[in-house]
Structure 1
Amino acid sequence: MRNRLLLCLGLSAALLLSSCSLFGGKAEEKKQDRAPVAADQLPQLGNPLLANKGDINAVNLNVATEEELRNFDNGAEGELIFSDPDDIEASEEQINALYENRRRGNGWISDYSTALRLARRTERPMLIWFHDSMASPKSNALAEAVLNTPSFDSWCDNRVIRVLLDDSETTDEFTGHKSRYSLNDLRAMGRRFGVSRRPAVVVVSMSGRVTPVIDGVDDTDWKAREAEICKALENAESDYEDYKDKLRDKGYRDWTRSNRRGTFFAKLQRVDRARGVAYLRQVGGRVLRMRLKSMTAEDAAYVESRSPSSGSKKN
């Protein structure tokens, strides 16, 4: 009896040790999966002001003053604000202006859908830059010579919605997670706009007309490239004005914004006098609500002439 008991205890101990070794093996296996990456393999931030900011071989530069920064920067630092360390609140006005600038669609936008909504709302042409910051030296040169210069930035402000789609930023450089667009998405989007090389620059009028301006760079006459881009944007503005003239016969007109800051182009869709609002349809399909009491005398008179009774709708 005693021998049987010892035998049972021995078998139980053996099974227990076997189970522990199995679980221990799995735990060790998980630890191996989580092993740290060697220091020389970690992605480096590099200089965030350069076009190839994801390049792990980018040179890190340390600067202590604004003057030192501007000595090596190519003008792409337009959104940097240097605050006074002894009076931080003195920079509040500049910071607020920066946020307002972004809200109005100035600067480069990496989300095409967001840019399109802004372009429709502001009635500005879109400039789409198909970039490859890692594999296209000519695209980086185009950035430094034209697209990221203060003069071009000033020319585009409050006039153009700019979209930057970079083939080299389709994967997050730190986590490895995919970003908004895959490389296939960007290539397919380029083909849809009639370009296949890098760099490529496309201008889109809000009438829907697409003009490929650059599809690869075969020479380095940057002044000529800049002139071509600006001319295409001016043509897009004129094209949209011609398009608007055709739509005026269909009931579209310019309306003054409630805050009296500019106008927008839309068609009166219907009026709800019970709520005191008019529904105005823009070219892209977006419907805006505007309070009747907030309208200018001219706009209110137009609404009254087109919709004298509650809920009526006229073209």
Structure 2
Amino acid sequence: MRWFRAYPVLSFLLLLPGCGIIGGGEDKPETAASPFGPGGVPQHLRAGGGSAIKPGGNTSPEVVKAIQNYNPDELVWTDPDDPDAELPELDGLLTAPKQKGPWWDSETEALRESKRTGKPLLIWFTDSVRSTACKSLSANLLTRSDFEAWASENTVRLVVDQSVKGKNIDDTTSKVLYSRDLKKKYNASGYPSLHVLAPSGEVIGRYKSYRSGQEDFLWGQLKQGVSLAQQRQKSWKASLEKKGYRDWSNESGRVIFAKLAAYKEGQIILVEPDGLRVRTHEKNLSAGDRVWIQQQKEKRGIR
């Protein structure tokens, strides 16, 4: 792996203007604006009952600071103390089994999945044992088949349960403290509380409290928040594409949004916006990605 220190041959490729995305597909044509706003949600479903949907306006202080200080050219590598440490294989990440059930329980993994898929993150803060409202919300909305179908298609879901149980006392204590830290980080007050985040990590909306009979009202608000998060994702992604990031995929079609960090004799290192590095060989990439690499090599006289 030490050759990567001496051969960042194509690390500059994506920084040049005019480098289009190969194999990434074309944008879908814009549809006519809905008379009910960007989320297609009637006004009576958007009034009250949660935080006002204002991109950036509901972002936690930690996320605001991270966004303001974000610089993809100053990345934290997978292991800063050992840059030559073995890196995970791209195919392993793209084909890794998903979480058990529809909800992730790791914020790190859920955020990464949100970035990779481009789907907004839906966080559910709950107390599944002591909160009657949480139990009611789960039964009346979150476990309904129509909601499951919508959420699977449009979001990545993360559950933060204050009543989580571990394998033993120490594990349970650790998980409870982890849940409390996330609740504080995202400024989640009370249970239940639902948050919608853009894949960039920006909090788009917070929706707290629930009463039986409000499930359609709440779902309408979630749809609006997800719609706005998708819009924010487009601008976030476009800003990183100017800095060299693009969609990469393997033959199975799974996509990773990353920048080429190093190349030598077909061996490749990619780096994601959060600093995670992965390695692969160009033969494992999609046909479109292989064509793109060949074009860049030809432009620079590299065989």
- Which TM-score band applies after superposition, normalised by the shorter structure? 0.5 to 0.7
C-alpha deviations, 1:94-121, integer Å up to 9, x for none?
xxxxxx9962786012232332333333
Q: State the shift of 1:130 in Å.
A: 0.7
Contact 1:193 1:212 in 2 (8 A): no
2:227 corresponding residue in structure 1:
234
For structure 2, the residue ranges without an aligned partner over 5 or more in a row are: 1-94
Residues in 1 aligned to 2:97 and 2:288: alpha-carbon distance in whole angstroms? 32
Secondary structure at 1:115's aligned position in 2? helix
1:39 corresponding residue in structure 2:
none
Residues in 1 aligned to 2:96 and 2:173: alpha-carbon distance in whole angstroms? 23
The correspondence for 1:213, drawn from 178, 186, 206, is 206
TM-score, structure 2 normalization: 0.59
Residues in 2 aligned to 1:194 and 1:285: alpha-carbon distance in whole angstroms? 26
Contact 1:171 1:178 in 2 (8 A): yes
Matched, 1:115 2:110: yes
1:286 corresponding residue in structure 2:
276
Instruction: Give the letter for the 2:280 counterpart.
Output: M
Residues in 1 aligned to 2:96 and 2:254: alpha-carbon distance in whole angstroms? 16
2:135 corresponding residue in structure 1:
140
1:265 corresponding residue in structure 2:
257
Contact 1:271 1:311 in 2 (8 A): no
Residues in 1 aligned to 2:150 and 2:107: alpha-carbon distance in whole angstroms? 21
Contact 2:111 2:201 in 1 (8 A): no
Which structure has more relative contact order (CA 8 Å, sep 6+)? It is 2
Contact 1:258 1:290 in 2 (8 A): no
Contact 1:266 1:280 in 2 (8 A): yes
Select the structure that is richer in helix. Answer: 1
1:202 corresponding residue in structure 2:
195
1:165 corresponding residue in structure 2:
160
Contact 2:133 2:211 in 1 (8 A): no
Q: State the shift of 1:177 in Å.
A: 4.8
CA separation of 1:297/1:184 partners in 2, compared to 1, >3 Å: closer, same or farther? Answer: closer
Q: Percent identity?
A: 23
Q: How does 1:63-212 map to 2 (within 5 A)?
A: 103=98, 107-170=102-165, 176-179=169-172, 181-212=174-205
Residues in 1 aligned to 2:160 and 2:301: alpha-carbon distance in whole angstroms? 47
CA separation of 1:286/1:195 partners in 2, compared to 1, >3 Å: closer, same or farther? Answer: same
Secondary structure at 1:254's aligned position in 2? strand
Residues in 2 aligned to 1:293 and 1:251: alpha-carbon distance in whole angstroms? 21
CA separation of 1:221/1:251 partners in 2, compared to 1, >3 Å: closer, same or farther? Answer: same
C-alpha deviations, 1:23-51, integer Å up to 9, x for none?
xxxxxxxxxxxxxxxxxxxxxxxxxxxxx
CA separation of 1:203/1:101 partners in 2, compared to 1, >3 Å: closer, same or farther? Answer: farther
Q: State the shift of 1:197 in Å.
A: 0.7
Matched, 1:304 2:299: no
Contact 2:116 2:255 in 1 (8 A): no
Residues in 2 aligned to 1:180 and 1:167: alpha-carbon distance in whole angstroms? 10
Q: State the shift of 1:138 in Å.
A: 0.9
Contact 1:254 1:265 in 2 (8 A): yes
Q: State the shift of 1:305 in Å.
A: 3.9
CA separation of 1:106/1:233 partners in 2, compared to 1, >3 Å: closer, same or farther? Answer: farther
Residues in 1 aligned to 2:171 and 2:288: alpha-carbon distance in whole angstroms? 51
Secondary structure at 2:130's aligned position in 1? coil
Secondary structure at 2:172's aligned position in 1? coil
Contact 2:136 2:212 in 1 (8 A): no
Contact 2:251 2:286 in 1 (8 A): no
Residues in 1 aligned to 2:110 and 2:234: alpha-carbon distance in whole angstroms? 20
Residues in 2 aligned to 1:101 and 1:146: alpha-carbon distance in whole angstroms? 29
Instruction: Give the letter for the 1:200 counterpart.
Output: S
TM-score, structure 1 normalization: 0.57
The count of aligned residue pairs is 208
Residues in 2 aligned to 1:106 and 1:241: alpha-carbon distance in whole angstroms? 28
Q: State the shift of 1:216 in Å.
A: 2.4
Q: State the shift of 1:278 in Å.
A: 2.1
For structure 1, the residue ranges without an aligned partner over 5 or more in a row are: 1-99
Instruction: Give the letter for the 2:270 counterpart.
Output: L
Residues in 2 aligned to 1:185 and 1:266: alpha-carbon distance in whole angstroms? 29
Instruction: Give the letter for the 1:169 counterpart.
Output: V
